[in-house]
Amino acid sequence: MKLHEYQAKKLLAGYGVPIPQGSVASTPAEATKAAEQLGGRAVVKAQVHAGGRGKAGGVKVVSSGAEAAEVAKRLIGSTLVTFQTGPQGAPVHQVLVEQTVDVARELYLSMTTDGGRRRPVIIASQAGGMEIEEVAKTHPDQIITEPIDPAIGLYPFQVRRVAEALNVTGEAARPFAMLLNACYNAYMEKDCSMIEINPLVITKDNKVLALDAKVTIDDDALYRHKAEAELRDKSQEDPLEVQASEHGIAYVKLDGDVGCMVNGAGLAMATMDIVKFAGAQPANFLDVGGGANEEKIAKAIELMLSDKSVTQVLVNIFGGILRCDVAARGLIAGIEAAGRQPRMVVRMLGTNVDEGKQILAGSGLKISLVNTLQEAATAIAAK
Amino acid sequence: MSILVDKNTRLLVQGITGREGSFHAERCMQYGTNLVAGVTPGKGGEKVFDKVPVFNSVSRAVKETGANVSLIFVPPPFAADAMIESADAGVPLVICITEGVPVKDSMYVMRYLEGKQTRLIGPNCPGLITPGAKAKVGIMPGNIHMPGKVGVVSRSGTLTYEAVQQLTTLGIGQSSCVGIGGDPVSGTTFVDVLKLFNADPETEAIVLIGEIGGVKEQEAAAYIKANVKKPVAALIVGQTAPPGRRMGHAGAVITGTAALASEKMKALAEAGCHVIPSPAEIGSTVRAMLASRK
C-alpha cells in the first residue's frame, strides 16, 4: 500500500527523520493559512501516488498566501498526469504546503527488501533528485547498496560506510546517521516494502532533511498496522481494482479488449500472453484465486464485464481445489448480474470438468468451449 | 529415484484440523503419501481420518512418529512460527503453502534457517510431488501426474498443473514436480532445485517455469550454463505485464529491466535452454527436445 508524501513524512518524522515544516491543505483557504504560517514563501505540492509531479506542474513555489491559494485552487480537484500515472492521471485532493529550503546538496536514499539476499538493503547515491532507474542506467557506479542483517539490525560502521560513499562529512554526519537509523526502525517496525527519500538534502547550514518521501507498506502485513491501513487513499487506485480487492480478487486493468479470468497468478499471466500471441490485447489481469467459490467467480465476471472496453472474454480455469462445475455456475451468475455477454471462449480442465461443460452447454448462453490453451488462442484470434 | 519426497517420506501436517489443512492432508493421504501426524496446538490427543494422531507441538509429533517432512497450512499471522517450530524440531524438509505471509516474517524465518539443516519450500507455493513414489506433499491435483523422467520446477501453482497436464497428455512422465512459490522472499530457489535434479539419476530432462519480477531466473540461467548437462526447457510468463504493477504474485512486479520476461528468456537461451515460445507449447517443446536427444 502506497502512502501520500505528507503521510509518509509524518510516519518517518515519528521515528526522528527531519522533515521540512509545513502542513497539508484540502482547500485554497487552508493553503493560504499554511503558507502564511511559513511567512508567505512556500512550496505547494500536489499529493498523488506517483512520481514526476514537478515536471507535470504539480509542484510550485509561491511567495504569498494569496498565491498559495491560487495554486491550490488550480491543483485541488484536478487530475495530474505524470509519466508514472499513465494517461488517465491521478486525482489531487490535497496539497502539501512546505517551507522552502536552501539546498547545498541533493542525495538519494532508499530502503527496500532484496529478495535474492533476503535482507533489507539501503540504496544510496550522490545523484539526488534524479530517477534512480535513470542513474542505474547511466552511472551504475554511483549507486551503493548496503545489506542489513535483520537479526542484528543496522550497525554504526555501515552507517559510516554509506556516509563516506555519499561524502557526508563534518557537521552533517551525525544527523545523517540518526536519519538512517530512524529510517531502518520505521522500515522494520511498520513492515515497509520501500522507503524512498529523493532528494535527501543537506542544507546550506548543514542540516539533513527529507525533502520528499515515498513509503510503501507490505499489503500482507496491514493486518497488524491498523493505523496505517486507515491511510489508504482508494481514489488513487482504479475503482475496479479497489472493488476486486475487496472481494479478494487480484485484478489489474490493462489497455486491451480481451477480458481474462483465470485461477492462479502464473496461469493468469500465461493466459494474457496467449491472448497477445494470438494477435489480441488483454483488457486485464484477473486471478480469482485458488479456493474460489461460485460467488467469487460471479463477482469476478461481473467486475470484468463492467469494464466497457471488454469486447470478448477468455475464461481459463484449471480445476484443482476449485471445481469446474462451481466455476461454471459462477460464470453464468456473473453474466446474469452484469447484464451483458460479449463473445466468450471458455477453457476448463480438471476436477468435474464434464459437469462444468454440461452446465455451460445447458445454460443457453453462447459460449465457445475449448480444451487446450492452443485452441483458446485460436478461438480468440478468430474474431 | 526422484528428489525431496519419495517412499521414505513421513508426512506431518501443521494446521491439520483447519479447513484447508484437513482437506489437503486427506488428499495427500489418498494419493499414497504416508501421513503420520498432524499438529494443531490445543488439539493434541485427537485423531483425524480415524487414524492420524494430532499433537500439540511439532517436536512431540516428530518424537512420536518419526515425521521427516512438514506441510504447513496455518493462517499468515502464524506461519512464521510454524516454519520456525518445524526447523527447531529438526524436520529436514518444510513446505509452507500459506499465501500472504508478511515479507518481514519470511525474512526472519530465512535468517533463522541460515546454517541449519532444514530446507524450506515456499511460502505461498503449491508444494511438490513424486508421482513414481506416490508421494504428494502439496495442493496439486494428483491425477494429472504420471511417473517418468522429467523434473519440473516452477514459481507458480496452476501454471505448473498446466505444464504437467501438457506433458502427461503427450505421454511424458515426471520424476518430481516442485513449486517454489511466488513470494519475493522464500526458501528454496530455482538453483537449489536444479542442483537436485542435476544430481538425480532418474531425472533426464528439466522443465523450468519462471515469470516476471526479480532475478531468480537469471541466477538459474547462470547455474544451468555452468553446471547442467541435462536438457532444460524454460518458459517465462508475464510478457504482456506492464511495469510497476503486481501481477498477483507478490514477486511478480517489473522493477528494472532484469525483471522483464524478454531479459529472462535471453539469459536462459544463452545458457543453452530450449526456450518455450508460448504457454501453449510446453508439452510440444519438451517432446521435441527429448526427441532431438535420441
Q: Is the peptide bond before B184 cis (omega within 30 degrees of 0)?
A: no
CATH number assigned to the domain comprising residue B168: 3.40.50.261
Residue B181: inside a domain: yes
Q: B223: which 3 cell numbers?
A: 547455474
Q: Which of B78, B85, B42, B79 is nearest to B62 (CA)?
A: B85
| Same domain for B257 and B156 | yes
Together in a domain, B116 and B145: no
Give residue B242's pLDDT.
80
Say if A288 is an interface residue toward chain B (CB within 8 Å): no
Burial class (CB in 10 A: 0-12, 13-18, 19+), B120: buried
Q: What is the DSSP letter of A103?
A: E
Indicate the residue type of A294. Answer: E
Question: What is the C-alpha to C-alpha distance for residues A207 and A103, in angstroms, rounded to an integer?
Answer: 9
CATH of A238-381, picked from 3.30.1490.20, 3.40.50.261, 3.40.50.800, 3.65.10.10, is 3.40.50.261
Tell me, what's the pLDDT at A290?
67
The mean pLDDT of chain B is: 93
Residues of chain A with pLDDT under 50: none
- The whole-angstrom distance between A113's CA and the closest CA on chain B is 8
- How far is the C-alpha of A290 from the C-alpha of A306, rounded, in Å? 23
Nearest-CB residue to A113 (from B103, B158, B256): B103
What residues in B contact A374, CB-CB < 8 Å?
A: 280-281
- For residue B68, give the CATH number of its domain: 3.40.50.720
- The reported pLDDT for the residue numbered A137 is 79
Amino acid identity, position A9: K
Asked if residue B126 is part of any domain, the answer here is no
Question: Which sign does the torsion angle of CA A245, A251, A252, A256 carry?
Answer: negative
- Strand duo A90-91 + A95-98: pairing: unpaired
* B177 lies in the same domain as B286: yes
Domain shared by B232 and B260, yes or no: yes
CA distances from A164 to A160, A258, A270, B93 (A): 6, 53, 46, 43
A254 touches chain B (CB under 8 A): yes
A1-20+102-235 belongs to CATH 3.30.310.80: no
Nearest to A35 by CA among A8, A61, A5, A73: A61
Least confident window among A12-16, A133-137, B181-185, B258-262: A133-137
> Do B220 and B109 share a structural domain?
no
**Out of B103, B240, B242, whose CB is closest to A193?**
B103
CB contact under 8 A, A290 and B239: no
Question: Confidence band (pLDDT; 50, 70, 90) for B250?
Answer: low
Asked whether residue B214 falls in the same domain as residue B285, the answer is yes
Inform me whether the C-beta atom of residue A318 falls under 8 Å from chain B C-beta atoms: yes
Q: Phi first, then psi: give them for residue B172, nearest 5 degrees.
A: -100, 110
User: pLDDT tens for residues A159-168?
Assistant: 999 999 999 9
What is the Cα B262 distance to its own chain's centre? 24
The CATH number of the structural domain formed by A21-100 is 3.30.1490.20
Q: Where are the beta strands (DSSP E) in B63-188?
A: 69-72, 93-96, 119-121, 127-130, 135-138, 147-154, 174-179
User: What is the rounded end-to-end Cα distance, in angstroms, of chain B?
Assistant: 22
Report the alpha-carbon distance of residue A239 to residue A220 in Å, rounded. 20
Q: Which residues contact B240 (CB under 8 A, 6 or more apart)?
A: A254, A269, A272, A273, A275, A276, A281, A282
Nearest to A297 by CA among A323, A276, A269: A323
On the question of pLDDT at B244 being above 90, the answer is no
| Helices and strands (DSSP H and E) totals, chain B | 9, 14
The active-site residue out of A108, A184, A187, A251 is A108
Question: Is B164 found in the same domain as B116?
Answer: no
Among all residues of chain A, which has the CA nearest to that of B216? Answer: A116
| B149 and B116 co-located in one domain | no
pLDDT of residue A271: 94
State the pLDDT at residue B240: 84
Question: What residues have CB less than 8 Å from B265, skipping those under 6 apart?
Answer: B234, B236, B275
The chain B residue lying nearest A219, using CA atoms, is: B102
pLDDT score at B294: 61
B248 shares a domain with B145: yes
A222 touches B: beta carbon within 8 Å:
no
Please report the pLDDT score of residue B1 as a whole number: 58
Provide, rounded to the nearest whole percent, the portion of chain B with pLDDT above 70: 98
Chain A positions touching B248 (Cβ under 8 A) are 250, 264-266, 268-269, 285, 287
- Residues in chain A within 8 Å Cβ distance of B76: 220, 223
Residue A347, SS3?
strand
Q: Is A71 helix (H, G, I), strand (E, B) or coil?
A: helix
On the question of pLDDT at B224 being above 90, the answer is: yes
List of chain B residues whose C-beta atoms are within 8 Å of the C-beta of residue A277:
278, 280
Catalytic residue among A5, A30, A67, A196: A196
DSSP category for residue A291: T
Strands A208-210 and A192-203: antiparallel
Counted domains in chain B: 2
Is residue B1 in a domain?
no
Does A196 participate in catalysis according to the annotation?
Answer: yes
The beta-carbon neighbor of B162 closest among A119, A150, A267 is A267
Interface predicted TM-score of the whole assembly (ipTM), two decimals: 0.91
Nearest to B237 among A149, A151, A269 (CB): A269
Answer whether residue B3 is part of any domain.
Answer: no
- Looking at the complex, does the CB of residue A373 fall below 8 Å from at least one CB of chain B? yes
Owning domain of residue B57: 11-121
